[in-house]
Structure 1
């Protein structure tokens, strides 16, 4: 490795002047405040680089390596070099260590080197002059031992893995320190394994299975039977005010019932685990009690599959009410930043209810804002859709089973709108209801769009007024509608990548956010 005797900045100045051909020894020495011999020394080195490595001349970090200095050929050194082959032959052994060889050397040459300089010379001489031939610590494996060793290789046990490493390294003649380190054990254990292997081979390293005490075995079996009996019964049968068992409750009841077996909490816990029992959390399932569930779902699917170009299918629902105040939510922050703090008690600036309809074939949203959720708002939405899509032949209306979606006033309005006289007079399409089964808001496709809306403009918001909140919602739906006008696509792909599921009709979808805030979906 090259060592610099003067600062790197001065070396670069000398090198640049050498490359440019303007290097003058005396002037450069005065400018850099170094001796002329120093400038001359580096100038000679640059000449060597230019001759042998011209492409490296402009590399300021490249220098010719210094040749290692040879040891001064003193009489003591020459004598040691002459004796080293004999010393190594006398020492022998599995590995060449400096200490035992030095002890032999001191017996032959009492006036020779002390241990420290001897070790430096010895460690330099050995790699250049000696080829080590390690001697195995153990005898070769037999056929049966090879089969057993292969079984240990695939065994999950830690001890089997240790023995495999021990056998492999011992057969290579590795040092005891290396075997101990690789096998993750201590030197005494390695020596004990070697002794057992010399006596009985690989089978001598196998630990015989422990024989279980018959009394203890019978007690454990009895304990298992008793615990299974308790698990199949209710805690309330034993005056425990719990709906389900806990380990602590089982332990308390077990101690009261069976005083002859005083086992502790951990014993009960381990026994339950060995029996195959464990705690599992229940899952919330969305199940519709509608007896016509399958018929209604099949009807919707048939309409969607056979939808004509003169027909439109709308998924309708209401978003909110959601209060206008400081909102929390997930944000992208540095790991050292503190979480956003949202006051639990806030003064609301108002609330928003957004009534909207998603047209599935064009992915367009029609919306307006309401003060209540009632039949009047539904009639208003149907009138807006009839005017907006008056060039269509039929509009299918799909919504959930909320009371204001099935009121008598709404039914009368639909009958009037679908009359021939009304349609000819106002030139409006036919309105046909395709209701969802009861308690199946998760089938309402627009709920997925509302989830994307909540993530985009409601979560982490702090609007100062209802008008500001409404403007944000308007911009969101406007940009969304424009996107699908420019890129026509039926509702069925993720919208903006923000809806929790793809906004398409599917029985397997759960489009409502399962653990979100109340304003994500409708409040009914």
Structure 2
């Protein structure tokens, strides 16, 4: 049967690659051939009516069997819907937008839709950009290359990317200022968090971000999840990296671990006097039949506030009247009347005049002879005013009760117009000698008889409680400043340096008034007498 006369000729329009504009079809139709005309559709239907098979019709007319099936179902009629005209996009417009958007196709698509009012599918746009040779290679695309992503992040950290440029590159510019600031000025973990969020906003995959930041994929994924769920405040909180599974399970493990720590290792058959991580893991497995990793154990111990610390040997006061003496000291100090003064007294020395060591900035390792000829000795007694922070000092020939009485007379003459002076010193033998106490009583009787000068009242410190004497810190500071790393030729020059140090200190507090100490003026500070008795205090 002759069929050639029944089949019309089908013409396919070729595209001109040199055209100045690009055309694209409807978003749902990406074929490059035109729709079949009415004559050809009728020919397909007639051949089918004459008994020719679908595959044979498809081979002869060079169309797909599916097309033949659809035409037969439509009985050779033209469909009611008509294909929309192809959209013409100027290639110069695409090139300009591509340059303005820094090669970011997503932004080009948004500009076409929002500003140029051109409706085009994103995949069609990328195809057109490839035809124009404007698509980026994978090696230079941060979304596909870890090295390119790392380079993009480094350029942003080094300030090569401005906020305005990032607003163009990032489809979502929310929180951009905050993230950009933390990326440039934050700590290491904060920079990684900010870089993760900015990179995800740049549409860089999580695997590429993790490789560029040298972090695990789970870490960067968790940062982004926290940001989406709870926002920036939760993301940059200090505890975001303290992540250890189910909270109930962790709290139960913590309770068990702490219970083990409160027992001796020997209670679990381990021949040790202290716990180690392997010993804890062994005892935990024996007791609860559960195996946990060493890293999980370390995290639980760290979160519970435990640290690997060495026991500190402290000076403990054995004074049976410790509470009463401390309460008297504090109540006296905190209830000083107008004009009354309180002084902390203590001796320093004797210290040999010789070459001395100490910490200092050096280019080489300094050495000091062990055996040296002494160039003299220096001793002094100092009194520190609790209200003015001024130091009164006097150099001694020997440390005895007479030296303490000499300092009391110096304070009496220096503060002759004050109504009362309170003094306190360490409870050593020559400070509490009968001779000194009798001399002090006689001194006060003469003052009352003359009705001129201040009364001297002693406030004793507990036994072995030098940590309560604030002047100890001042003498230690003087030692670090002018004694350590010194090499004075004689005792006179050492005394001169000490006197100059105290004079400069007094001058400083004259222009910058401040009371001695910090928390000794707070009424509720020394409530834990057991801690205070052992010297377990800070910043007092």
TM-score bracket relative to the smaller structure: 0.3 to 0.5
TM-score, normalising length from structure 1? 0.47
TM-score, normalising length from structure 2? 0.45
